[in-house]
Amino acid sequence: MGVTCVSQMPVAEGKSVQQTVEILTRKLELLGAEKQGTFCVDCETYHTAASTMGNQGQAGKLMYVMHNSEYPLSCFALFENGPCLIADANFDILMVKLKGFFQNAKANKIESRGTRYQYCDFLVKVGTVTMGPSARGISVEVEYCPCVVANDCWNLLMEFMQSFMGNHTPGIPSVFGNKHDSIYSPADSMVQYMELFNKIRKQQQVPVAGMR
């Protein structure tokens, strides 16, 4: 696993989500990227149940349980700003048993699905982010596989993203900031997806022009 940057691509003016995805993938194919199947990242939200909260009346913390088709045998459980747990895939069954402590906010389930592309040593995943039945936005994940230290290859990653995202190239992800020269891990990617999903959920409340 290399270093990954997850970002959101805004929907092009006057276009649908689907059309914007097509424009993006066509650019990638022109660049010489090759299609390599599909991918999916999903995220479920859990509230800490009322019974477990102390009588201080503080708001419950949110926990996110996520899956990534790149790691089909694993399940990721994250708190916002908190630790990230990487468990076996049957962690989901455990969550069902823990119903009394964590309640699944089913309506909040969000996922990104799309095509996986390879270009040289880069992996690019362009996905449509959906919540319930409707498309909410576009995620772009770019991984530079040979490198393991995020800050070593940020400039290189950015130059690559500029080649097909133009002026929508994102800034340096916040998870890079506190990594110094430690090794980038799959959990860092999941944190980025969690942050992206949270951002898109909030956008949902204000309908954006151009989205259907």
Partner 1 sequence: MADGVLSPGVNLEAFSQAIAAIQALRSSVTRAFDCLKDGMRHRETLEGREKGFVSAFQDSLHSVSRDLGELERLSNLVGKPSENHPLHNSGLLSLDPVQDKTPLYSQLLQAYKWSNKLQYHAGLASGLLNQQSLKRSANQMGVSAKRRPKAQPTTLVLPPQYVDDVINRIDRMFPEMSIQLSRPNGTSAMLLVTLGKVLKVIVVMRSLFIDRTIVKGYNENVYTEDGKLDIWSKSNYQVFQKVTDHATTALLHYQLPQMPDVVVRSFMTWLRSYIKLFQAPCQRCGKFLQDGLPPTWRDFRTLEAFHDTCRQ
Nearer to partner 1, 75 or 153 (CB): 153
Nearer to partner 1, 91 or 119 (CB): 119
Binding site for partner 1 (CB under 8 A): 1-2, 32, 119-122, 144-149, 152-153, 155-156, 159-160, 163, 181, 183
CB of 164 to partner 1, least distance (A): 12
CB of 176 to partner 1, least distance (A): 13
Q: Is 18 helix (H, G, I), strand (E, B) or coil?
A: helix
Nearer to partner 1, 161 or 190 (CB): 161
CA 46 to chain centre: 17
CB of 31 to partner 1, least distance (A): 9
- DSSP symbols for 139-207: EEEEEETT--BGGGSHHHHHHHHHHHHGGG-----HHHHTTTTSBP-HHHHHHHHHHHHHHHHHHHHSP
CB of 201 to partner 1, least distance (A): 33
Q: Is 20:138 a contact under the CB 8 Å cutoff?
A: yes
